Amino acid sequence: MTFEQSELQRLVEVIIDLLQRYWHDPGAIEVIQSELDKLYRKIPIYAGIQANCLSQVVVPIPTNQLQEGEEVSILLKDDAIVVGKVSKVTPSEVKLVECKQFERPRSCAEVTLPIQNIREVRLLARDVLKREWPSLDFKA
Amino acid sequence: MPKLRLKRGDILRLEGLLSLQVEEGRVLISGGLYEKGSKISIPKAKSLPLEAEEDAVVDYSLGEGGHIEHLSERTIPPEWDALIRDIVDKRPRLVMVMGNVDVGKTFFTTYVANTLLRHGIRAAAVDGDVGQADIGPPSTVGVGLFERPVGLLYEIPMLSAYFVGSMSPSGHMLEFIVGMARMVERGLREAEMVIVNTPGWIFGGPARSLQLHLVELLRPDIVVALQQDKELEHLLACIPQTNVRRIPTSKSVRPRSRDERAFLRELLLGRYFNNAGRMVLDLRRVRLERCYYRTGQPIDQRSLGIREPILHAEKLPEGLLVVVKRALSQDAIRELKKRFEQVKVIEAGSERYLLVGLVDKTNELLGLGIIERIDYSRERMTVITPVRDRDRIWAVQIGSMKVKPSGKEVGVLRPGSF
């Protein structure tokens, strides 16, 4: 194979890049997922256009360029995230409405969880290629 | 009617809406010879060059936006005429024209074929511009024959067309490349020479792949690279240089915006379906092509043990295909996946407005259709189509674009979902 015969690879690369940059930002991830879903439903055949559009879904912007009504996700200096709609911007503050706040992810060495507090346990698998297709598990 | 008195060598730009008749003398329009009594109409937003071969008198009338401009020099680069002289001398069988969008490939093709006609060479043109097809309706590649000079490519009579399935080769590369090969084959049967107009999709991996494989498949005698600068060099680097002729674009090229292209497509499709009627096809008699539906072993819906109403079920090598009235519950899908691993679910009605090709028993395209509905239990498909003779329809080729009969594009079908 010489050239890419579709833009699918570029789309996958854009998705990987977005996930790497925004994995800790539930606000951004929600918009990325919903836009990707919409793009795929509307133009499933045009992976290149999906990749172009998707890379414009989350864009860093200086606070002085924010406009009222825009939907933003703001990363604070303590790594907490606030998602909401801009209602007012002054040189000293940004006011958001319809907000959701997310704590910053914390590492901990050990934790004990009472069973009655657990709603669902999700098993995480790494190196699935090695498990499912060992002959294709090449050195990256 | 107003008259224009032209001296030999006078050059005009004719901008539509305009109609013109040669009263005396001979003029060249788009390279084609128009003599006493010849008429030409130029539609709105199109412009063509006129060159007086000898002193001439022409009558003209201008419509909305129509305009005639005297030019001080030719808009056709001298390299074009040198190339045509070579073509006349060497008589290649296949000439392929490459170029970015809006560099004037269609005009170049018309100009060359018209000029060849003056030298007694009858050329066919294959139009690979799927979205803005001049030969055949949008979503097809077509071939037409230059029997007389024309101002615009769409005026030549169509010999044949091939349904690609969408408005761009992207996502339909195989259909596109098969279509181009078939159209070239057809053109070579009818004409001494075929000029292939390729799509203006030249950047990126898929575009490179398509253009270069097209060259490998068709093996043109000459590749004409119509360039404004050096925008084709990345492709030409992979082609035997003995076959390549680099030529500049005409000075009168007018770029079209994305919106303008979409509007033109809508206009062309709307015009195509303007006199269309409704036709019911019996799917037990007419074959479906390019889809999963009706390619497997039918299964009794009741044997699936699903409570939701299922209109049709069949077993494919890839798993199960079911047609349902409304979306299946996650539980039902899980249940089916346990037995069949892969499950394709078609929601009845999702096929509405799907653009299809209607072909005869020799696989020749009779025309396009738009699916109105499929009655899955009675195995009937209702299509809106300008094709009149139902008995000639042997197969329906499923595309991926959804369009209304007005020509408006309303969606895209996910490949593999039908």
Which amino acid is present at B284? R
Asked if A44 lies within 8 A of B414 by C-beta distance, the reply is yes
Q: Measure A31 CA to nearest chain B CA, in Å.
A: 22
Q: Measure B66 CA to nearest chain A CA, in Å.
A: 37
Spans of all domains in chain B: 3-71, 78-255, 257-418
Range of the domain at A53: 1-59
What is the β-pairing status of strands B123-127 and B193-197? parallel
Residue A131 lies in a domain: no
What is the token pair recorded at B67? 């305009």
Asked if A48 lies within 8 A of B206 by C-beta distance, the reply is yes
- pLDDT at res. B253: 66
Residues from chain A that touch B402, judged by Cβ atoms under 8 A, are: none
CATH number corresponding to B78-255: 3.40.50.300
Residue at token pair 């050096």: B230
Residue A35 lies in a domain: yes
The share of chain B scoring above pLDDT 70, in percent, equals: 99
> What is the CATH architecture assignment of B3-71?
Sandwich (2.60)
Q: Within 13 Å of residue B225, how many CA atoms lie on the same side as its CB?
A: 24
- pLDDT at res. A140: 74
Selection from B247, B24, B32 nearest residue B119 by Cα? B32
Residues B112-169 pLDDT 10s = 999 999 999 999 999 999 988 899 999 999 999 999 999 999 999 999 999 999 999 9
Let me know: does B402 contact B409? Beta carbons within 8 Å. Answer: yes
- pLDDT at res. B1: 81
Residue A117 lies in a domain: no
- pLDDT at res. B369: 98
B179 exposure class (CB count in 10 Å sphere: 0-12, 13-18, 19+): buried
Let me know: does B167 contact B131? Beta carbons within 8 Å. Answer: yes
Query: In B237-349, where does DSSP find H-type helix?
Result: 258-272, 330-340
Beta-carbon contacts of A101 under 8 Å, excluding residues fewer than 6 positions away, are A80, A81, A82, A83
- pLDDT at res. B356: 98
For chain A, what is the domain count? Answer: 1
Residues from chain B that touch A50, judged by Cβ atoms under 8 A, are: none
- pLDDT at res. A1: 56
Per-residue pLDDT of chain B (418 residues; tens, 9 = 90+): 889 999 999 999 998 899 999 999 999 999 999 999 999 999 887 889 999 999 999 999 999 989 999 999 888 999 999 999 999 999 999 999 999 998 999 999 999 999 999 999 999 999 999 988 899 999 999 999 999 999 999 999 999 999 999 999 988 999 999 999 999 999 999 999 999 999 999 999 999 999 999 999 999 999 999 999 999 999 999 998 888 999 999 876 667 777 878 888 898 899 999 999 999 999 999 999 999 999 999 999 888 888 888 999 999 999 999 999 988 999 999 999 998 989 999 999 999 999 999 999 999 999 999 999 999 999 999 999 999 999 999 999 999 999 999 999 999 998 888 9
- pLDDT at res. B252: 67
b/e burial code for range B183-193 (CB count within 10 A of at least 16 → b): bbebbbeebeb
Q: Which residue ranges in chain A fall short of pLDDT 70?
A: 1
What is the β-pairing status of strands B310-316 and B319-324? antiparallel
Backbone angles phi, psi at A115, to 5 degrees: -55, -40
Residues of B with CB under 8 A from a CB of A: 166, 168, 170-173, 204-206, 208-209, 212, 400, 411-415
Residues from chain A that touch B400, judged by Cβ atoms under 8 A, are: 45
Residue A81 lies in a domain: no
What is the β-pairing status of strands B94-99 and B193-197? parallel
- pLDDT at res. B43: 87
Asked if B415 lies within 8 A of A48 by C-beta distance, the reply is no
Let me know: does B152 contact B45? Beta carbons within 8 Å. Answer: no
Question: In whole numbers, what is the pLDDT of chain B averaged over residues?
Answer: 93
Residue A106 lies in a domain: no
